[in-house]
Amino acid sequence: MTKINNLKQAMQKEDKYQSFLVFNSANLTYFSGFQGSMALRIPLEGESTLFVSAVNFEQAKAEVKGLNIQLVKRGENLMETIANQAGALGAKFAVDSLGIESWRALAKAVGGEEKLEVASNLIRELRKVKDQQEIQLIRQACKIADAGMQKAKETIRVGVREKEVAAEAEYAMRKAGSDGVAFDTIVASGFCCAFPHSTFQDRTVKEGDFVMVDLGATHRFYRSDITRTFVAGKGSEKQKRIHEVVKLAQKKAIEHIKPGVAAKEVDMTARRVIEEAGFGDFFVHNLGHGVGLEVHEAPILSTDSKDVLEAGNVVTVEPGIYLPGFGGVRIEDTVLVTEGGAERLTGAFAF
Ligand SMILES: [Mn+2]
């Protein structure tokens, strides 16, 4: 229960919370290793309690170690159950995140909104730095994503439909052991590549089209994220030029990564390459984001990020150039920040 102890330490430093009440589903998985609980109470002292409804109770008992497991019966008010279990009605509670109606119900149960404080940042900071086991799971999710990308590459040809490429890639990932996709697979061709998140089209790939493939796998709740942009048939000089610029931007950014470096510096390193090539207006998103239990988490690689990189961070590096009406290129890998720099976790094949 190192993760829980780490949170207790962070709470001790703050010196104002009696308990941390966790509701966010990724945070619940993070601390319990289990998906399907309703809440977790982590008191400063003593055992933590996982609140589970009848539907998942038996599975939780079988799979969760080191936590009290409390059944929340059908019709029972979760917030009142938590408040009763927590006791100590004068105390202050840290909360990670809640919808507005649940927040009101919790406030009522503990005796006032002034007893609640949003402290999701404490958990954000913990989840940013992956331990060895988490890194191993992400590594495996990345390997599976590579298998999917390899299959996408083999499937892309003039005349193929976007959805067929996506289906083959996802099938390959399943066969390689994926628990599911990390997010909806994107296959975008031709002018659609100018939309960074194109999903609704089902174009038939034409000669000379860019084909952008963005996919990821999930392995025991941990995720991966990779993008490649291919050309069907023969590419033009302009296409090659754009692809080279994006590739160079990614390479320079990855070379810049090491512990102690500000995340915004890494974003700016890639952005500078693209600006110098004259495409500055067409890199319309952040350079990258953390990957773990969620496909978008901390740290963030953006121009206004306050994160500073640490060994154990896992981030994407994904520069792109998107030219309206023409198409676009994005190249993305999931990267581990190591003591010495960065290790690419995706991109095992030559694509
Ligand atoms: Mn991404």
Q: Is 109 a residue whose pLDDT tops 60? A: yes
Residues 98 and 180 in one domain: no
Q: Are residues 155 and 58 in the same domain?
A: no
Q: How far is the centre of ligand 1, averaged over its atoms, from the C-alpha of 215 (Å)?
A: 9
Looking at residue 204, the DSSP 8-state letter turns out to be B
Ligand 1 centre and the CA of 47: distance in Å? Answer: 37
Same domain, 101 and 141: no
Instruction: Give the model confidence (pLDDT) of 27-52 as tens digits.
Output: 999 999 999 999 999 999 999 999 99
Same domain membership, residue 303 and residue 288: yes
Who's near 20: CB < 8 A, 6+ residues apart? 7, 11, 41, 42, 93, 94, 95, 96, 119, 122
Q: Is residue 66 part of a domain?
A: yes
Domain membership flag for residue 227: yes
pLDDT over 70 for what percent of the chain?
Answer: 99
Buried b (16+ CB within 10 A) or exposed e, 244-254: ebbebbbbbbb
* pLDDT at site 89: 65
| Domain edge (last residue) among 107, 126, 145 | 126
CA of 102 to the centre of ligand 1 (A): 31
Q: What is the distance in A from the centroid of ligand 1 to the CA of 216?
A: 9
- Tell me how far the alpha carbon of residue 62 lies from the centroid of ligand 1, in angstroms: 34
Whether 277 and 153 share a structural domain = yes
Same domain, 76 and 216: no
Same domain as 117, residue 47: yes
State CA 61 to chain mean position distance.
28
What is the pLDDT, as a whole number, of residue 157?
Answer: 97
- Ligand 1 centre to CA of 318 (Å) is 7
- Give distance in angstroms: CA of 225 to centre of ligand 1: 5
Query: Does the pLDDT at position 201 exceed 60?
Result: yes
CA of 187 to the centre of ligand 1 (A): 14
pTM of this prediction?
A: 0.95
- Ligand 1 centroid distance, CA of 321 (Å): 14
Centroid of ligand 1 to alpha carbon of 223 (angstroms): 11
Instruction: Report the mean per-residue pLDDT for the chain.
Output: 96
Domain contains 351: no
CB 257 within 8 Å of CB 335: yes
How far, in Å, from the CA of 3 to the mean position of ligand 1? 26
pLDDT, average across residues 224-250: 97
Same-domain status, 180 and 297: yes
227 Cα to the center of ligand 1, angstroms: 8
Ligand 1 mean position, distance from CA 289 (Å): 7
Q: Could you tell me the CATH number of the domain that includes residue 93?
A: 3.40.350.10
Same domain, 40 and 163: no
The whole domain housing 317 covers: 132-344
**Distance from C-alpha of 322 to C-alpha of 328, rounded to nearest angstrom:** 4
Q: What is the mean pLDDT of residues 15-27?
A: 96
Distance 283 CA to ligand 1 centre (A): 14
Q: What is the CATH number of the domain that holds 167?
A: 3.90.230.10
- Residue 199, pLDDT > 80, answer no
Q: Are residues 87 and 150 in the same domain?
A: no
Q: Which residues of 298-324 are buried (b: 16+ CB within 10 A; e: fewer)?
A: bbbbbeebebebbebbbbbbbbbbbbe
| Residue 275 and residue 180 in one domain | yes
Please tell me the total count of domains within the chain.
Answer: 2
Rounded distance from Cα 10 to ligand 1 centre (Å): 29
Q: In this structure, is residue 30 part of a structural domain?
A: yes
CA dist 351 and 327 (Å) reads 19
307 phi and psi angles, rounded to 5 deg: -70, 145
For residue 330, the CA-to-ligand 1 centroid distance in Å is 10
Give residue 75's pLDDT.
Answer: 92
